[in-house]
Structure 1
Amino acid sequence: METKPHPPCPYPDVPSAEKHAHNFKRVRDAHRREIVEDYVEMIAELARVQDDVRTSHLAERFGVSNATVTNRVQRLVGDGLIEDAPYQPLVLTEKGRTIAQESRRRHVLVRDFLIALGVDPDIAEADTEGIEHHVSEETLAAFARFVDRGSAATETTAI
């Protein structure tokens, strides 16, 4: 069965059906990565400041049940991102550390960008959690240029 092409949209600011479909696919892909990135980033953060990371620590930080964390941890073990053994702390694999580092880079960049725009740091931190997984590399590069320009201007005026 042949599909007919969509007629052009009469509104110039509305993307084509193909563009909409592409954009929504990108969002769905980001949603799938979001929880994985949040978990490995949190494990890495907690490992920097405490001796061991347990599922109960993650449950407390994410505000979810231990059962929810245990289910997610088993998926992450299956994906080769963390190592988990009974009565042992959670440990990121090399692959998990790589994802955690990249996620942290994105997190810091988005947060710093929002702060450079004048957003209160606490609000910027909270908003970053919803934004960091959905921003393209091109947009992140623009954020970095903006933040770097602001840093350079601040350093110049401080001299």
Structure 2
Amino acid sequence: MPSYSHHRTRSDHASEVAEDYVEAIAESIAENGICRAVDLVRQFDVTHATVNNTISRLQRDGLVLTEPYQPISLTPKGKRMATKARQRHEIVREFLLRLGVSENTATIDSEGIEHHVSDETLKAMKRILKNGLPPAS
């Protein structure tokens, strides 16, 4: 029987692509006013078919709205997911920077860690960012 940690890791992987895509869509809309499939093709360095398949899954899951040859928009559920993913990403990135990790490495590492960090660990990171490390016992 698989352990809880392996089950959670598999579950995290399942939501990783959705989180990355809704976060990218939100960023594109914020920066350019719209998000098109080609923007995601460029950002993720994947084929149009990959983007179209992923967008279809996101639409099925109620995260995005789109029509053929039209921009992609986020549903309220997609916006909530994008906001949560962005916040997690920023907390992890800022925490790594606080540890002395270079900006480039912190940016790259936070992209993967954000999907797997538990709520407990994320709260601890936020607490340390706000208050610093507690005194050693």
Shift of 1:145: 1.0
Rounded Cα–Cα distance in structure 1 between residues aligned with 2:112 and 2:85: 13
1:70 to 23, 27, 52: 52
Rounded Cα–Cα distance in structure 1 between residues aligned with 2:33 and 2:16: 26
Shift of 1:51: 2.3
2:69 to 87, 92, 103: 87
Larger Rg: 1
Partner residue of 1:35?
A: 17
TM-score (norm 1): 0.80
1:97 aligns to 2:79 (yes or no): yes
Once the two structures are superposed, residues 23-58 of structure 1 have per-residue CA deviations (whole angstroms, 9 ceiling, x without a partner) of: 100100000010000000110011100021111100
Higher relative CO (Cα under 8 Å, sequence separation at least 6) belongs to 2
2:103 to 112, 121, 131: 121
Partner residue of 1:58?
A: 40
Rounded Cα–Cα distance in structure 1 between residues aligned with 2:128 and 2:41: 36
Shift of 1:146: 1.1
The one-letter amino acid paired with 1:113 is F
Q: Which runs of 5+ in 1 are unaligned?
A: 1-17, 151-159
Rounded Cα–Cα distance in structure 2 between residues aligned with 1:56 and 1:131: 26
Partner residue of 1:25?
A: 7
Partner residue of 2:127?
A: 145
Q: Secondary structure of 1:88's match?
A: coil
The one-letter amino acid paired with 1:28 is R
Shift of 1:126: 0.4
**Which contiguous aligned blocks of 4+ residues in structure 1 show a shift greater than 3 angstroms?**
none
Kindly tell me the number of residue pairs found equivalent between the two proteins: 132
Sequence identity, in percent? 45
TM-score (norm 2): 0.93
Once the two structures are superposed, residues 120-158 of structure 1 have per-residue CA deviations (whole angstroms, 9 ceiling, x without a partner) of: 1111000011100000000000001111124xxxxxxxx
